[in-house]
Structure formats: structure tokens, C-alpha cells
A and B are shown apart, each in its own frame.
Chain A
Amino acid sequence: MEVRVVNVRKEFERFPALHDVSLDIRSGELIALLGPSGSGKTTLLRLIAGLERPTKGAIFFGDEDASQKSIQERNVGFVFQHYALFRHMTVADNIGFGLKVRHRAARPSAQEIRRRAMELLDLVQLTGLEKRYPAQLSGGQRQRVALARAMAIEPKVLLLDEPFGALDAQVRRELRRWLREIHDRTGHTTVFVTHDQEEALELADRVVVMSQGRIEQVGTADDIYDTPNSPFVYSFIGESSSLPVKVENGEVWIADRPIGLQAPHAPSGEAVLHFRPHDVDLLDGCSGCIAGTVAASRRVAGTRRVELEIGGERQRVEIELPVDHPAAQKSRVAFRPRRWKLFPAA
């Protein structure tokens, strides 16, 4: 089912949580809402589910205006960060709950409900645990039950709110792969919220980056990482360093020296240079480069991270060097970013 969010605004007691957000979600897509806390990603998810009502705007499921429908009528599967299982029911009863509460006319027989619960239990790889209570399951198992429960009602959209947020790293990675598999097999349109960029980039077909109640950028993992369209996305996704610079006649300057970067289309004036710490060329001499004094050097796994102080204002930036690179021993390092982007100064 295709989902369209059209000019949605949401205020909580006059405080705006979402400003005029629009988003098209394609049928069968696995899409991630990524952002820091307070960016409005969970609010957007809850609006799609019907757990909140938009202050303005509308949400369409296919051609139907879903914003006029109650939560019960929307037929969405929602998975909560803390599972929200019914703890007085067995696993099988939890999964069958959505079918059992249907009106008599639409309700399958008790046997059919049971068969369906078993089938889903198989799908989430928890065969044999149907008689357990949620308290007797591990976190990862509970979340699988929650997903099976959400899928039992054959939802139009599957919505997951930080589904792996409460689990430890190992289980997270495992469930991530597993969720991708389930999605590929069942083809539900799925939206999930996360603040973990690795999770979003690895799992989703498209990533929606949000900040302060607005959508910053929508795109594939490649789009988001390689061509970020705002300073926020650049610094939020992956590692990044930034430096205040000046543009004059299509050339980039730091203080009174050109650094050898050409920006023919950039307007002259103050700007901020963004680059990835690992995407730099180290230079020996310095005519047209960025040079700085080594302030700190840390070994991080396979690389060495060096913090440099640049210029008279002692702006700090970080670059990554190979572990055995001789530059790490020196007190001054010169480099030039290989790939970079200029944004107007804020």
C-alpha cells in the first residue's frame, strides 16, 4: 500500500513537533526515518498510525484519506520499542489478538486463528514457544513476537518505532538482517524509526533524514552519504569535519591563504567547508593546502585519528591516517580534502 503524507503539521500544546512535512512512500518499500531525538521522526510515525492526529494536512493510504479514520479502522501494524506485549497472554494469544477482537462477521474461526499464529511464529523463527508468556522470553524474542502480532492482521503498512533500540548490539545486528529477509519475503510497506544511522543505511531502501521537525533529505544510502544537501545531513551521517572558510573569485581561502580548492560556482563570501576525515590527501609541502598542529592523536581500530589545530583561531578538525603513516609522528600535518562541499555560513 502506497502512503502519502501531505503537508502535515503537528503541534503539541502550541509547540510545533512537525512543520509542514510531505513524504511519498512507495508500495512495498522499506523506508527509515532517521534523526536525532526531538527531530519529529516518532511523531511522524505515530501520525501515520493514527496514534496522533495531525494539526494540519492529511495522510493518504492509496487514494483513501486515512486521517479521517480511527486507529482501529486504519489497519496498520505497529511495533513499539519496548514491545508492548500483553503479559497476561501466551505468545500464541498475543499473536492472535488482532484477529480475535474482530467483529464476528470478519473473525476467523478459533482454529484458523491458531493456525495463523503458528504460521507467523514459524516466520519469526520462534516455533515451539507458543505457550510461553512474554516474561519468559528474551528481549529479541519479545520483539519478534511483537512483529508477528503486528503482521497477523495483514496490515496495510507496517510501522516500527525504534524496533531494536532496547536490544544489545549483537542481537540488533542479527535482527536487522532478519527483518530485511522478512520484508523481502512478505513485501509489506514498512516504515521504521531509528536514531542509528548504520541501521538506517544498511536496512532501508530509502532513508528520510529529519531534524527539528523537518525533513532534511530523502534518498538512498548512497545519495545521503555522497551528496548530502545540507550541513546537518553532512555532519549527522557518517564522520565529518568542518572549517569556516572564505570564498573569493571561485577559490577557497582559510584566513589569508588559498588552500588549493576551486569552487567556481560558489558565491563569494563566508562559507563552511565540510569533508570526511578519511577522504583527504596528505601533502608534504604546503602551497595551497590546510596545515595544522597536531593537538591529539588516537588509535581507533584500523586507523589513526589525528586532531589538528588550524590557523590563528585554532579551529579543530579531525582527519584519519593509516596507522603506520609517518605524518602521525610529526607535529605539523598538511592535507587537502579529496571530496568536500561548501555550505553558506550560518
Chain B
Amino acid sequence: MTTAPAQAGWRFRQPSVIPGFGLTLGFSLAYLTLIILIPLSGLIWRSAALGWADFWALATDPRTVRALQISFGTAFIAAAVNVLFGTLVAWVLVRYRFPGRRVVDAMVDLPFALPTAVAGIALTTLYAPTGWLGKLLMPLGIKVAYTPLGIVVALVFIGLPFVVRTVQPIMEEIDKEVEEAAATLGASRFQIITRVLLPGLAPAIITGFSLAFARGVGEYGSVIFIAGNLPYKSEIAPLLIVIRLEEYNYPAATAIAAIMLALSFAMLLVINLVQTWSRKRYG
């Protein structure tokens, strides 16, 4: 082994001073295979067994298409709302010292911890036409519970911590001097925020968005309570999968799941590429 046979094969990278590259990489790959790859390839294998024509028929079924639209659409809107208000919450937590700040900070994590069904039931009670908030919104002609709007509300609740927790640490790192420099150069408060602070936060905000979005697409527990689950109107794709399973219609269930998988993967890939690009630029 003194002739360094490793030279002959291909290598990922030069080994660093810290040993164990081979071991850790091997472990990571085995772990990812076991936890993620095998279940997912099982899914693809099952749906591939359908045959192309059958798969296409199931995929273009109007009820499926509509459910997918609702799932991805509401998750997108909810993630966008969370970007706006999550960034604001992070800003308040980072920049201001006020009594009860720690309590608010801890509260942000609640949607992580709370069983999603509990969240769904609580939100439904609040927003139902007879609930506290629903009663107030009813005269304005706004119906939240049992509509796609209700789904958005549930997903906003579920996704908030993702944005806050990704943006917060980056915000804490912002050097106050950078803002001061911008001010001495004549930039107004508004210009400092839009031209200096937000562009610096962009990579973190994109990450927060993609996490909230991914979570929203897959969310089931909280949504089914508030959505009303009317086919073609407020029925989400994960629920449709469960319905198909209960009908013992496994091919349809796997087909929908495979489509969701493909779409999610494609979108996360795009977001990741955007992110790599912005990281490279801003160092």
C-alpha cells in the first residue's frame, strides 16, 4: 500500500487535516439511503408499475389536478405571507429590547411543538362562522374556515417559525456600522432597509421561504380541520392521497404522491440554485 493506489481512482477532494472523510461520507450516504432514498424509490417503483397511460390518466384527473393546485397555491401564498411577517417578527426580536421579549421569542417556536391537529381545531374554532374571529369577519363577507383562505391561515401558522428562525441569526450578524455608513452617505431610513439590509438578508429569506413552503405543501393535520375538504374547492393533495388509500385505490394514491414528490423536488432544487448563486455573490 506504499504506492498510493488511491491515485489511480477518482477522488472527491483532497483530504483535509481532519481525518475520517471516507467514514463520515460513507455513513451519511448510508443514512440518507435508509431514511430517505429507499422509501422514496419504493414510491416511484410502485407508481412506475402503473404504466404510463394509467399514470397519465390518474395524474390528469380533474380532482387530482385541482387538489394539487390548491396544495401548492396555498403553500406558496402562506410562505409569502410568512416571509413578510416572519421577517418583521425577527426584526423586532433582534433589534428591540422590551419586557417579555423572551416570551415572544419562545412563542415563535410553538407551532413547531404543538400537535398540528390541535392547531387545526383551535384555528377552526376561532374562524368558524360562529367563532370569535369568524363572527367579526362574517359581516364583511370574508369566510375563512372551510375555504382555501382557511388553508392559508393554517399554513401561515405552521410555517412562521421556519422564516423567523432562519432569518433571525443572519439579522443578528448585521453590523450596525453598515447602517451607519449608509446613513452618513445620505441614505434615508427607507433606503437603508431596501437597499442595504434586505439584499443582505435575501439568502436567509429565500431559505426561510423554501422551508415554509415545503412544510406547507406536505401539511395535513392542521389543514383538514379548517379546510372543510370540499372536492374541487378546498381539498388538499395529501388528503386526497389518504382518501384514495381508504378506498384501497393504491395506484391512484401513489400516482398523486409521485407527482407531489416530483414537483416539490423541482421547486426546492430551483430555490437551492438561486441560493447558491446569491451566496457565491455575496460571500
Contact = CB atoms under 8 A, between A and B. Distances in A.
A338 interface: no
B16 interface: no
A110 B182 CA distance: 19
Interface residues of B, number: 21
B184 A51 contact: yes
A10 interface: no
B281 A72 contact: no
A51 B175 contact: no
Contacts of A76: 184
A78 B184 CA distance: 7
Contact of A88 (B182, B183, B184, B282): B282
B185 A149 contact: yes
Interface string A112-141: 000000000000000000000111100000
A97 interface: yes
Nearest to A152: B185
B187 A77 contact: no
Nearest to B199: A88
Interface string A149-192: 11011000000000000000000000000000000000000000
A135 B182 CA distance: 18
Given A82-B175, A88-B200, A133 B181 contact: no
Nearest to A80: B177
B181 A84 contact: yes
Contacts of B202: 88
Given A84-B177, A84-B180, A133 B187 contact: no
Nearest to A133: B283
Interface in B233-247: none
Interface string A79-93: 010101111110000
Q: By DSSP majority rule, is chain B's interface helix, strand, loop, or mixed? A: helix
Contacts of B33: none
Interface size bucket, A side?
20 to 34
Contacts of A149: 181, 185
Interface of A: 49-51, 71-72, 74-78, 80, 82, 84-89, 97-98, 101-102, 133-136, 146, 149-150, 152-153
Given A51-B184, A149-B181, 17 more contacts: A49-B184, A71-B184, A72-B186, A75-B186, A77-B184, A84-B175, A84-B178, A85-B178, A86-B178, A88-B200, A97-B182, A101-B191, A102-B186, A133-B281, A133-B282, A134-B283, A153-B186
Q: Sort A-B residue pairs by CB-CB distance and give the 5 closest, nearest first.
A: A135-B283, A98-B185, A84-B177, A84-B181, A78-B184
Interface of B: 175, 177-178, 180-188, 191, 195-196, 199-200, 202, 281-283
25 contacts: A51-B180, A71-B180, A71-B183, A72-B184, A72-B186, A78-B184, A80-B177, A80-B180, A84-B175, A84-B177, A84-B178, A84-B180, A85-B181, A86-B181, A86-B182, A87-B283, A88-B199, A88-B202, A88-B281, A89-B199, A97-B182, A98-B185, A101-B182, A101-B195, A150-B185
